[in-house]
């Protein structure tokens, strides 16, 4: 797969002072075997970032309070340590290109000497991490122009993104990647990503930055494709970008309300907050009346989620995540389904089958060549693990591993009608697809569009892919409005090969079928039986 060989990155600070996500992006590009990175250093001429940032606040009081809140959230949610990245990076940079005497009046106007330096470097594209305004006369100094990334729905650099979306309880945060060249001198959005916010803006910003890295790297490959078509989609020059007193007060009220809620609950627990439970029904899930299905009884101080069905000797079993509130480290348990006289279902003989010192969930169980396998989520161990059943249902042995050093979530095995084998998995909440030779994972081919989806409304897996009539249906989570697992989307797979992936929405199941339910994020349909989970605000 061809990617850019010579990439320029505009920075306005010394390498030691770059933000963590900027260092990670540079390091990822430097470490790629077919990429040469050039740092374009303009820190001597760029206007002071602090004074520039003040323009995004309605007044100095808002700016001052924002600064204090930012420091508080850095303490609560952690500050990145760049020392290790800096050590790795210093000896790897191929060229340090320093632009001097650059005219800067709101735009990056290259003088003759600077233009010549960039032209001679034969850069294919320049990534600007500073949000500069470009002069169209300079676009032809590279083959493909300039790239910029914005973490909001306007094109204001250094905008205090995420805070306004959280305060107004918007559906999601938007990340936009823009390209500027002679064909699109005013810039065009070439790709977008959608991210669910957390109730703290600093943590949300860190998550958005990580997603931004993946968005840039993905499109460095996509931009090389000839005749790539774009929808003409520009970011509006939004005048409503300043952070006001009212918006900041709304944010602070909600932030400290959440802090108080969890502190009070930990001190005086009255029920289980955000508690997931299991629900079992007969027939087709899509046609079922979910309000008539009763949640399974479970012990106190735990929640049960991510259920998978398995039929063995004409008996139905449910494998699921069993999470004790005491240590918040999930384990995998199994129970046998029993139908009661009133028509409801219960789980009997519940036993733990996997208990580790790291979190376990999403026990994707399936049959392959008359053998039983399971892929539990083992992101806490930073690799993907496949287990083979030795004695059903509670004895398993490690069969194979892959993706060493990566936090893999919700891995789902799928064999299509042509017997091609696939892994659908999540890194963060983004969807990645891989074709594999077998469950031994000796050959793994990455999908050409990875990550194939960076949309919080549909990327995260929500159970095994199942067949409905002549189609395959992929359950996926709808993570929006600051709620993890808020709703369940069912999508029909239209096209799947190593070059393309396409799906279309069939339906979205909202958490409105029972009082106090705020989420539904997993489904397994097996023949004439289904199981799903639901989240109660308090249980």
List pLDDT tens digits, range 503-531: 999 999 999 999 999 999 999 999 999 99
246 & 353 share domain: no
CATH code where residue 431 lies: 2.115.10.20
Please indicate, yes or no, whether residues 289 and 247 belong to a single structural domain of this protein: no
Query: Are 280 and 220 in the same domain?
Result: no
pLDDT band per the 50, 70, 90 thresholds, residue 49: very low
Q: Is residue 26 domain-shared with residue 142, that is, in the same domain? A: yes
Q: Does residue 306 share a domain with residue 228?
A: no
d(CA 294, CA 291): 8
Give the total number of structural domains in the chain. 2
Same domain, 253 and 337: no
In a domain, 1, yes or no: no
pLDDT bucket at 218, cuts 50 / 70 / 90: very high
Pairing of strands 315-324, 302-312: antiparallel
Residue 234 has pLDDT above 60, yes or no: no
Contacts with 34 (C-beta within 8 Å, 6 or more apart), sequence order? 2, 3, 5
274-312 residue pLDDT tens: 899 999 999 999 999 999 998 999 998 899 999 999 999
Indicate whether 48 and 149 sit together in one domain: yes
Q: What is the pLDDT of residue 1?
A: 42
Q: Is the distance from CB of 385 to CB of 363 less than 8 angstroms?
A: no
Which H or E element spans position 263? helix 245-267
For residue 94, being part of any structural domain is answered with: yes
pLDDT band at 54 (very low <50, low <70, confident <90, very high): low
Looking at the predicted structure, is the pLDDT value of residue 479 above 50? yes
Residues 54 and 110 in one domain: yes
Judge if 246 and 340 occupy the same domain. no
- Residue 139 within a domain: yes
Q: What distance in Å separates the CA atoms of residue 268 and residue 166, rounded to the nearest whole number?
A: 27
Percent of the chain with pLDDT over 90: 61
* Residue 34 in this model has a pLDDT that exceeds 70: yes
The answer to whether 42 and 12 are in contact (CB under 8 A) is yes
Angle at which helix 83-90 crosses helix 20-31, to 10 degrees, equals 30
List the one residue out of 139, 130, 132, 127 whose CA is nearest residue 106. 132
pLDDT, average across residues 19-40: 85
Residue 242 sits in the same domain as residue 317: no
Domain stops at, among 206, 237, 262: 262
- Domain with residue 58: its CATH number is 3.40.50.170
pLDDT tens string 167-216: 999 999 999 999 998 888 888 899 999 999 999 999 999 999 999 999 99
For the beta carbon of residue 122, count every other beta carbon within 10 angstroms. 12
pLDDT above 60 for 104: no
* 262, 278, 313 - which closes a domain: 262
* Rg of the chain (C-alpha set): 25
Cα separation, 150 vs 8, in Å, equals 18
Query: 427: alpha, beta or left, given left = phi > 0 and alpha = psi -120 to 50?
Result: beta
Q: So what's the pLDDT on residue 81?
A: 66
Dihedral sign from CA coordinates of 321, 351, 296, 328:
negative
pLDDT at 159: 67
In a domain, 216, yes or no: yes
Of the candidates 262, 280, 312, which is a domain's last residue?
A: 262
pLDDT at site 50: 47
Residues 210 and 303 in one domain: no
User: Does some domain include residue 500?
Assistant: yes
Q: CA 511 to CA 234: how far, in whole Å?
A: 35
Confidence (pLDDT) at 233: 54
Residue-range definition of the domain harbouring residue 19:
6-262
The answer to whether residue 98 sits within a structural domain is yes
- Any domain includes 403: yes
Q: CA–CA separation, 33 vs 35, rounded Å? A: 6
Pick the most confident of 85-89, 125-129, 413-417: 413-417
Give the residue among 262, 325, 275 at the shortest CA–CA distance from 535: 275
Whole-number average pLDDT of the chain:
87
Both 294 and 434 in one domain: the answer is yes
> With a threshold of 0.95, does the pTM exceed it?
no
* More confident site: 405 or 79: 405
Res. 318: pLDDT tops 90: yes
Query: Among 114-118, 176-180, 209-213, 256-260, which is the least confidently predicted range?
Result: 114-118
Pair 150, 125: CB distance under 8 Å: no
pLDDT in tens, 420-471: 999 999 999 999 999 999 999 999 999 999 999 999 999 999 999 999 888 9
333 lies in some domain: yes
């Amino acid at each position: 797969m061809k990617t850019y060989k010579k990439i320029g990155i505009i920075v306005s600070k010394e390498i030691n002072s770059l933000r963590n996500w900027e260092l990670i992006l540079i390091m990822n590009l430097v470490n790629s075997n077919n990429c040469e990175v050039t740092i374009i250093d303009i820190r001597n001429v760029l206007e002071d970032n602090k004074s520039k940032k003040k323009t995004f606040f309605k007044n100095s009081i808002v700016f001052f309070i924002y600064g204090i809140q930012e420091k508080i959230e850095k303490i609560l949610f952690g500050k990145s340590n760049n020392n290790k990245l800096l050590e790795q990076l210093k000896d790897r940079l191929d060229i340090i290109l320093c632009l001097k005497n650059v005219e800067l009046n709101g735009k990056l106007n290259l003088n003759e000497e600077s233009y010549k330096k960039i032209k001679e470097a034969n850069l294919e594209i320049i990534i600007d991490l500073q949000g500069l305004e470009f002069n169209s006369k300079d676009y032809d100094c590279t083959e493909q122009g300039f790239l910029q990334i914005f973490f909001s729905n306007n094109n204001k650099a250094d905008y205090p993104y995420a805070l306004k979306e959280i305060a107004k309880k918007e559906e999601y945060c938007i990340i936009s990647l823009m390209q500027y060249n002679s064909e699109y001198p005013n810039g065009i959005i070439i790709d977008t990503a959608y991210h669910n916010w957390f109730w703290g803006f600093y943590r949300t910003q860190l998550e958005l930055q990580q997603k931004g890295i993946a968005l840039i790297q993905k499109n460095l490959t996509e931009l090389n494709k000839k005749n790539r078509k774009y929808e003409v989609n520009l970011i509006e020059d939004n005048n409503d970008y300043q952070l006001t007193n009212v918006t900041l007060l709304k944010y602070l009220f909600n932030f400290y309300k959440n802090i108080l809620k969890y502190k009070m609950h930990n001190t005086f627990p009255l029920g289980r907050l955000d508690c997931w439970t299991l629900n079992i029904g007969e027939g087709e899930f899509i046609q079922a009346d979910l309000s008539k299905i009763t949640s399974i009884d479970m012990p106190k101080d735990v929640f049960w989620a991510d259920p998978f069905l398995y039929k063995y000797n004409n008996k139905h079993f449910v494998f699921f995540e069993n999470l004790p509130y005491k240590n918040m480290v999930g384990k995998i348990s199994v129970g046998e389904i029993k139908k009661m006289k009133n028509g409801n279902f219960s789980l009997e003989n519940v036993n733990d089958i996997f208990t580790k010192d790291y979190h376990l969930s999403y026990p994707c169980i399936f049959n392959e060549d008359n053998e039983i396998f399971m892929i539990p989520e083992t992101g806490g161990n930073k690799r993907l693990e496949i287990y083979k059943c030795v004695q059903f249902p509670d004895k398993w042995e490690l069969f194979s591993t892959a993706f060493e050093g990566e936090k893999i979530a919700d891995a789902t095995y799928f064999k299509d009608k042509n017997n091609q084998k696939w892994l659908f998995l999540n890194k963060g909440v983004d969807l990645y697809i891989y074709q594999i030779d077998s469950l031994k994972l000796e050959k793994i081919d990455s999908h050409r569009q990875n990550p194939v989806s960076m949309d919080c409304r549909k990327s995260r897996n929500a159970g095994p892919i199942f067949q409905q009539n002549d189609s395959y249906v992929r359950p996926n989570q709808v993570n929006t409005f600051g709620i993890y697992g808020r709703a369940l989307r069912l999508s029909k797979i239209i096209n799947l090969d190593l070059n393309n992936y396409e799906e279309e929405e069939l339906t979205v199941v909202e958490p409105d079928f029972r009082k106090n339910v705020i989420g539904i994020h997993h489904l397994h349909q097996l023949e004439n039986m289904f199981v799903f989970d639901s989240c109660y605000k308090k249980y």
